[in-house]
Amino acid sequence: MSSSESVWQWFKVLTTLISLVLIWELSCRLFEIPQFLLPSPSSIVMRMIEKPMLFVVHGWYTLYETFAGFIIAVLVGLLAAAIIIIMPSVRDVLMPILLIAQLVPKVAIAPILLVWFGYGVAPKIVIAFLVAFFPIVVNTANGLMAVERELLDLGRSLEASRWQIFWKFRMPSALPELFSGMKIAITLAVIGAIIGEFVGGDRGLGYLIIIANQELDTPLAFAALVVISIGGIVLYGAVELLERLLIPWGQPIPQTQAAS
């Protein structure tokens, strides 16, 4: 994609978003919708300007929980995927267990985790980790397995050690899959952290939404939602940026070069 094309892409997205917000704003004013039902975009923005520190403080907690859960998910996920690949006999046992763990609804076990880990950040990090973990394991394990047979034959013919096969042959070829797992995981981790804050605690954007709802302060709830969305997009963008830096070979190449 050339840069002028990507500018055009952004232009289309932005104009669509702005139009939607305008329609929303106008409908609120035209039909005089009460604020506690559907606040207008301008009132949401006003809320954010009134108390910016509120969002910074609570936002920071949510970001911290999300990020910590995500990082642990990446580390544990990588380790689990590596074990699955290096010890195939473990895979048959581990995969069903992982699947069962994935199928347990995290919202349902959140209260139990609170009992176990208290009301601080710990249970939120655990929930964020639990929801983010699965896509990373599955994607990475797939990537590690998808190495070309001939490449593995080449490795064997050079008498490469297990370690060399893993790091030089399997791991780099799994990187694109790891990143697609990480992109799903980072968005899930945000949701996990919010779920944790919903269930108990006294900090974070999820907690802010609960409070706002109790006080029928809908503009505040919406303002928190906007901050969560923006934060999620920024985190997703950060993972994508990292992907571009780490795997230059995965990028689409300019047409002129590909054709020759």
Partner 1 sequence: MKTEAAISVKDLRKVYSTRDGSITSLDGVTFDIKPHEFVSVLGPSGSGKTTVLKIVAGLEKKTSGEVRVEGRDVVGPQRKIGIVFQVPALMRWRTAIENILLPSEVLRIDKAQARERGMETLRLVGLGDFANKYPNELSGGMQQRISIARALAHDPSIMLLDEPFSALDMMTRNQLNIELLRIWSDRKQTSMLITHSISEAVFLSDRVVVLGARPAKVLEIVEIDLPRPRTPEMRVSKAFIEIVDHIGRGIGLEYA
If the CB atoms of residues 97 and 259 are measured against partner 1, the closer one turns out to be 259
> With binding defined as CB under 8 A, does residue 159 bind partner 1?
yes
> With binding defined as CB under 8 A, does residue 163 bind partner 1?
no
If the CB atoms of residues 31 and 163 are measured against partner 1, the closer one turns out to be 163
Question: Cα(61)–Cα(156) distance, rounded to whole angstroms?
Answer: 49
The least CB distance from residue 6 to partner 1, in Å, is 21
> With binding defined as CB under 8 A, does residue 257 bind partner 1?
yes
**120: three-class secondary structure by DSSP:** coil
> With binding defined as CB under 8 A, does residue 157 bind partner 1?
yes
Question: Cα(132)–Cα(120) distance, rounded to whole angstroms?
Answer: 20
Going by C-alpha positions, the residue among 205, 202, 221, 223 that lies closest to residue 213 is 221
The least CB distance from residue 169 to partner 1, in Å, is 8
Residue 34 is encoded by which pair of tokens? Answer: 């009460």
Going by C-alpha positions, the residue among 93, 111, 8 that lies closest to residue 101 is 93
If the CB atoms of residues 82 and 152 are measured against partner 1, the closer one turns out to be 152
For every residue of 188-256, DSSP letters joined together read HHHHHHHHHHHHS-S-SHHHHHHHHHHTT-HHHHHHHHHHHHHHHHHHHHHHHHHHHHH-GGGSPPPHH
> With binding defined as CB under 8 A, does residue 247 bind partner 1?
yes
If the CB atoms of residues 180 and 187 are measured against partner 1, the closer one turns out to be 180
> With binding defined as CB under 8 A, does residue 4 bind partner 1?
no
Chain residues in the site for partner 1 (CB under 8 A): 148, 150-151, 153-160, 164, 168-169, 172-173, 175, 247-250, 253, 257-258, 260
